[in-house]
Amino acid sequence: MAPFGRITAAFLIALAAFVFVGAALAVAGRQLPVPAIGRDYVTRSELPPAAGFDLPDVAGETDDDRPLVVIDPGHGGHDPGASGQGLVEKTLVLELARELRDELVRQGGLRVALTRDDDTYLLLEERSEIARRLDADLFISIHADSAGEAAEVAGASIYTLSNDASSEAARRFAERENAADRINGQLLAGQGENVSAILVELSQRRTQGRSDELARLIEREGKGVLPFHPQPRRSAALRVLRAPDVPSILYESGFITNESEAERLSSPEGRRRFAEVLARAIRIYFARSGELGTGTGSAAAPANGTATGE
Ligand SMILES: [Zn+2]
């Protein structure tokens, strides 16, 4: 039995070493400081989501059939995001996100969750994964921008995933999640590779269409109320928007390197205006798809009566 014992011991030591290195890498990956460069959410490469993170609390209606909006305040923890005029993006966007959540809960008819409600760092993949695991109907990531020395640059923008990035994300999702995942409630396991890829591609395309619709509604409802960038609708290869089955947008609330914009975004009045516009756009979005139900009455109609025009 001696040789067998030695082999078993060697195997266990190798296994322990493997587990230890894996755990060390996982810890290091979460704690490596990431430099706060502009547009870091575009280019930063990330580790896959760590297993076992907690799902956030859901506020608002208790009925699971009600649409669920997941709001994602960008950055957090060791990653402050942009800074300017004495403001830090991670703090500013958390306050904007809370204001929007409170406004949506106040108006009723929806469920709302924040990916983070404190100064926690989350990987980009964890943020969209939270939305997927909660079976969210919308995902809205909130950021603020910096223009460095160009203090005159101002205005909000609404980002959706670019078409190229969307197809690429669908392909990768199909490869990676093939075995165990669901897309729009349909199990991909046993579908065969080609069928899975087609299901994911179809789902991603529909998701893109709905993401674009929300972006358009935010622009429309915000016109004259929120100062937008001259070209407010953008698309980019944003990692945080890649859930193939949750319509997702990223809202750049403005440039905190611009004095008046910084003042606006950090004031209670500025936060209120932001939350009212986004809440109205979100309600119209769900009202159009029939997901708000009939119990919410006139709250589903926009305050300025522009629901029928584009
Ligand atoms: Zn940001």
Spell out the domains of the chain, with CATH numbers in brackets: 57-300 (3.40.630.40)
How remote is the CA of residue 4 from the centroid of ligand 1, in Å? 56
Residue given tokens 């859930």 in the structure block: 243
Q: How far away, in angstroms, is 80 Cα from ligand 1 center?
A: 8
Tokens of 110: 């929806």
3-class SS of residue 86 = coil
Place of tokens 């800074």: 83
How confident is the model at residue 16, as a pLDDT?
53
Whole-number pLDDT of residue 67: 97
Query: What's the pLDDT score for residue 239?
Result: 83
The pLDDT assigned to 288 comes to 93
Taking only the tens place, the pLDDT of each residue in 171-187 is 776 665 444 455 555 55
Q: How far is the CA of 38 from the centre of ligand 1 (A)?
A: 7
What digits encode the pLDDT tens for the residues 59-98? Answer: 999 999 999 999 999 999 999 999 999 999 999 999 999 9
Whole-model pTM: value is 0.75
CA of 74 to the centre of ligand 1 (A): 5
- Centre of ligand 1 to C-alpha 301, Å, is 31
CA of 96 to the centre of ligand 1 (A): 13
pLDDT of residue 34: 35
pLDDT of 175: 64
pLDDT score at 189: 59
Strand partners, 139: 70, 248
Ligand 1 center to 299 CA (angstroms): 31
Q: Which parts of the chain register pLDDT below 70?
A: 1-52, 170, 173-192, 294-310
Distance from Cα 296 to the centre of ligand 1, integer Å: 34
Q: Cβ of 162: how many Cβ atoms within 10 Å?
A: 17
At residue 248, φ and ψ (nearest 5 deg) are -140, 140
What pLDDT is stored for residue 183 in this prediction?
A: 59
Centre of ligand 1 from the C-alpha of residue 163, in Å: 21
